[in-house]
Amino acid sequence: MKITAAVLHRTKKPFRVETLDLEPPRAGEVLVRVQAAGVCHSDWHVAQGDTQHPLPVVCGHEGCGLIEALGPGVSGLREGQRVALNWQPSCGKCFYCARGRPALCAEYTDPVWRGGLLDGTPRLSLNGKPVYHYCALACFAEKAVVPAISCVPIGEDLPGPVAALLGCAVATGAGAVANTAAVPAGASVAVLGAGGVGLCAVAAARAAGAEVVLAIDKVAAKESVARRMGATHFAAADANPFAKVRELTGGRGADFVFEAVGHPKLQEQCLRLVRPGGTVVLVGLSPMGSATNLPGAVLTRRELTVMGSYYGSIDAARDFPKFADDYRARRLPLDALITRTYDLAEINEAYSALLAGELARAVIVF
């Protein structure tokens, strides 16, 4: 079948929207007609070469769509069903899955990072040459063949862009708050980075009953969206967020600090924002090979906890529907997050706007 997709042929070059061949789904796979795909920084890391990936590749890992066809042996899903896509498929059997940590599943990491589906081979091609799938999803395309286990049924009532965001920004940001850190009611929370992931952490912290939710971003104009997402306070990064956090917490620092950018300098700044005995949660993905100075002399004396949170420590089958319910109940005001939508043909424009700090989250709508 011929499909239209945004293809990355070389790093540091624009995406090219072109026609590819897509094979039908094999055993354990489904064909999805993509409805919406979020414009996330992780795809940009691939485009820049900060995340190494076989090329050419179709990116897009935050999506939703309708199932058009089931491959052999697929059960529990049906044609026409609305699904949100999970970019970290889990096997249900390995050491981590057996211990309730599917976001760490060891079984499928290898084939997925080789750019194929779970059997290691791609379904996409251009003039007979393979084109790879990012996260086994490749949803910057009108249609995608994906692992059946990446599909989480989600209600028809959710707007497409909202359903798409469940798969990355919401899972990563809200999951870090609800699952990894389990922020309790009454806590004080600071979030560095008011992009899609950081703003979902803000919303989830407020939903958890945090009393102080301080959003910090280098772009002062992010204040209005941060407040609509639930921030009680906002600090532009150049306006001394350290003084602001102390002012809001009786001079102590925040109980929880979330770093949602993935920048070593910001990760180090978290230690100046957190109170003694508090918790720093590293959510943003830093470039592979980068290093962060987290001094033991400080961590020990102040009894700090530093946690990594990968994909919000989620169990997609449990958490996507739960976050969808949080949206319906207005505990996660995700409409405020979606700054604008684009056509697939405008994908390079969408990334330019994202990098210029003009967007909270943009979504490509098909």
Q: Least distance to Zn ion from the beta carbon of 67, Å?
A: 22
For the CA atoms of the chain, what is the radius of gyration?
20
| Residue 105 found at the interface with Zn ion (CB under 5 A) | yes
- Least distance CB 116 / Zn ion (angstroms): 17
Q: With contacts defined by CB under 5 A, how many residues of the chain interact with Zn ion?
A: 9
Examine residue 283 and tell whether it contacts Zn ion (CB under 5 A): no
What is the distance between the alpha carbons of residues 80 and 313, in angstroms, rounded to a whole number?
Answer: 29
- Options 18, 23, 68, 107; binder of Zn ion; rule CB under 5 A: 107
Stretch that binds Zn ion, among 14-22, 168-176, 271-279, 348-356 (CB under 5 A): 168-176
β-sheet bridge partners, residue 190: 214, 257
Residue 60 amino acid letter: G
Rounded CA separation 235/34 (Å): 37
- Phi-psi sector, 278: left (phi>0), alpha (psi -120 to 50), beta: beta
Stretch that binds Zn ion, among 67-75, 87-95, 243-251, 338-346 (CB under 5 A): 87-95
Residue whose CB is less far from Zn ion, 233 or 361? 361
3 state SS of 180:
helix
Count the Cβ atoms, other than its own, within 10 Å of residue 98. 11
DSSP, res 83: E
Q: Rank residues 56 and 167 by Cβ distance to Zn ion and give the closer one.
A: 167
Which of 30, 31, 42, 324 forms a contact with Zn ion (CB under 5 A)? 42
The reply on whether position 40 binds Zn ion by CB under 5 A is yes
35 interacts with Zn ion by CB under 5 A: no
Query: Considering only 144-152, 164-172, 252-260, 297-305, which stretch makes contact with Zn ion by CB under 5 A?
Result: 164-172
Distance, in Å, from the CA atom of 254 to the CA atom of 214, rounded to the nearest integer, reads: 9
- Does 91 participate in binding Zn ion (rule CB under 5 A)? yes
User: Exposed (0-12), middle (13-18) or buried (19+): which is 307, by Cβ within 10 Å?
Assistant: middle
Which region among 37-45, 178-186, 262-270, 349-357 touches Zn ion (by CB under 5 A)? Answer: 37-45
* Minimum CB distance to Zn ion smaller for 123 or for 361: 361
Q: Which of 35, 86, 90, 188 binds Zn ion (CB under 5 A)?
A: 90
Measured from the CB of residue 355, what is the shortest distance to Zn ion in angstroms?
A: 15
Spatial distance between the Cα atoms of 309 and 104, rounded to a whole number of angstroms: 10
Rounded to the nearest 5°, which phi and psi values hold at 31?
Answer: -95, 125
Segment contacting Zn ion by CB under 5 A, of 1-9, 116-124, 161-169, 291-299: 161-169
The answer for residues whose C-beta is within 8 angstroms of residue 340's C-beta and 6 or more apart is 353, 359, 362
| Partners of 146 in beta bridges | 30
Which one, 63 or 241, has the nearer CB to Zn ion? Answer: 63
Give me the residues that bind Zn ion (CB under 5 A), please.
40, 42, 90-91, 94, 97, 105, 107, 168
